[in-house]
Amino acid sequence: MRQLRMMRALGPGSVSSFLKVILDVVFAGLWIAVGAVGLMMLAGLLLSFNPELINQISITVAGTDVLAKWPVMAGSFLATAAYLAGLLVIVERLRKIFATLTAGDPFHPDNVTRLRVIGLALAALELGRYVVWIASAWLLPGKTRVEPDLSLTSWFSVLVVFVLAEVFREGARLRREAELTI
């Protein structure tokens, strides 16, 4: 119990600085994933220029020839790339927010915009999930399509982030007023 009281939330050596390091690692991992998806998309594009080469290659997953469904795979890669882009936006903004927390400046005015962008990115990811569901229902009749799921938790998270943005905006306003007070 005593150990928990000694942990600080802000500043160097705090929980926020530890979380900033974790976000840095996740950010690097996301860029690696983006590179891998980009290479797979490039390989697919290059293979599409030579259809005879595609016929010589056989890749099967669960008894299904993957290359026979290349347009579906290309769409999957595109959806994955869009999802990773959304995650990159969120993690990059979180890194900047946690950098201000580590510096001991939680109500930095830029954090308001960063939180709003995170909220918009979360909403866009959720809407993108609906687009993938509609596209899979239309293009992939049968068992391989994505099942619909309205996630109230996701939309609640979006609302929470926007409320936090307003809390940070008010905190920045109060800090600005305090700096003007003699």
Confidence class for position 67, pLDDT limits 50, 70, 90: low
pLDDT at 14: 77
Higher pLDDT, 104 or 138: 104
What percentage of the chain carries pLDDT values higher than 90? 38
Question: Which pLDDT value is given to residue 57?
Answer: 58
Share of residues in the chain with pLDDT > 70 (%): 75
Report how far Cα 80 is from the mean position of its chain's Cα atoms. 11
Residue 14's contacts (CB-CB under 8 Å, 6 or more residues apart) are: 7, 8, 101, 102
pLDDT band at 66 (very low <50, low <70, confident <90, very high): low
Integer Cα distance of 64 and 47 in angstroms: 19
Q: What is the CA radius of gyration of the chain?
A: 22
Written as one string, the DSSP assignment of 21-85 is HHHHHHHHHHHHHHHHHHHHHHHHHHHHT-HHHHHH---EETTEETGGGHHHHHHHHHHHHHHHH
pLDDT of residue 72: 67
Output the pLDDT for position 142: 65
| Mean pLDDT of the 32-37 span | 92
- Compute the distance between CA of residue 113 and CA of residue 115 in angstroms, rounded to an integer: 5
Q: Which residue has the tokens 């697919």?
A: 44
Q: How many residues does the chain have?
A: 182
Please tell me the predicted confidence (pLDDT) of residue 146: 59
| pLDDT tens figures, 76-103 | 888 889 999 999 999 999 999 999 988 8
Q: How many CB atoms lie within 10 A of CB 121?
A: 21
- pLDDT at position 105: 85
Residue 1 pLDDT more than 50?
Answer: no
156 or 48: which carries more pLDDT confidence? 156
Stretch 9-18: mean pLDDT, rounded? 79
Indicate the domain borders of the chain: 1-95, 107-182
pLDDT of residue 30: 94
pLDDT tens readout for residues 125-170: 999 988 888 877 777 666 555 566 788 899 999 999 999 999 999 9
CA atoms within 13 A on the CB side of 120: 9
